[in-house]
Chain A
Amino acid sequence: MTELAARTEALPEKKTKTALAFESTWKVVVLNDPVNLMSYVVLVFKRIFGFDDARARKHMMEVHELGRSVVWTGAREKAEAYVYSLQEWHLSAILEKDEAN
């Protein structure tokens, strides 16, 4: 077997790993903060995710009472964009890998 042939065989394994990393599911989590108004947090959820009032309030109450709420789950790139948008509105938002998926 030549050296070139050996390299060709190793390539598919790398590709598979890369594909798996991109297919992972990520969670957008909003954490509680003692400063932002409840009505403000509700408005931000409506603006960014297009939630209706009931859903926005449910997530706001989760943040307020439980300290965190998972507001979106999905592909990493979109999750990052959501975290950035939430941080632009000064909400404490983080990205977490969804270990269940």
Chain B
Amino acid sequence: MKQIEVRLNLEVVAPLLDFIKPVIKDLEHETAFAPEMAEADRDLEGLWREGLIHTQTEDCRLLLGLFGAEFVETGRVVFQQDNSDAVLRAASAIRLKLRESALASLSDAAIEGGEIELENLSEPERLGFAAYLFLATLQEIIIKHLGI
């Protein structure tokens, strides 16, 4: 089975993980975005939403699990083909939540265009933005090395 090993600086990543933990907690109760449903599906909305929340909760648990004791000791994280989809989805869910919470005051153009002046951001915005970029980088690495 294909796998990739990533070595990360614990001092840099630990504060980001601490920052996203409450976001992950929120994702146990609400979807990463408000899913639109067809008119005829209103009756199913509760079940539909519960299913989405269940998947994202499991995905986020798996992601956090990869940054457990071994990571704290060695700074090493291993992504494997059989967990890569869940990690990608979890990263997407967390990024969506960060965008509407910690990064709500920033424009899409500023974020996409890299026009963010870090020194002008508040501490939560700085950590949120760093976590947002960190998760995007993880996604890019996984897609490049473990994608179809």
Kindly state whether residue B99 has any CB partner on chain A within 8 Å: yes
Q: Cβ of B95: which chain A residues have Cβ within 8 Å of it?
A: 35-36
- Closest beta carbon of chain A to B82's beta carbon, Å: 14
Interface contact A40-B96, CB-CB below 8 Å: no
Q: Cβ of B121: which chain A residues have Cβ within 8 Å of it?
A: none
Kindly state whether residue A9 has any CB partner on chain B within 8 Å: no
If over half of B's interface residues share one DSSP class (helix, strand or loop), that class is named, otherwise mixed; here it is helix
Interface contact A89-B143, CB-CB below 8 Å: no
Q: Cβ of B89: which chain A residues have Cβ within 8 Å of it?
A: 88-90
Contact with B along A8-43 (1 / 0, CB 8 A): 000000000000000000000000011111011001
- Closest beta carbon of chain A to B143's beta carbon, Å: 5
Q: What is the size category of the interface that chain A forms with chain B?
A: 20 to 34
Kindly state whether residue A80 has any CB partner on chain B within 8 Å: yes
> How far, in whole Å, are A83 and B99 apart by their CA atoms in the complex?
23
Interface contact A40-B35, CB-CB below 8 Å: no
Interface contact A84-B99, CB-CB below 8 Å: no
Partner of A92, one of B33, B37, B48, B111: B33
CB pairs A–B below 8 angstroms (7 shown): A33-B96, A35-B95, A40-B88, A47-B85, A90-B93, A95-B37, A95-B41
Top 6 closest pairs, chain A to chain B, by CB: A34-B108, A90-B92, A95-B38, A94-B36, A87-B35, A46-B148
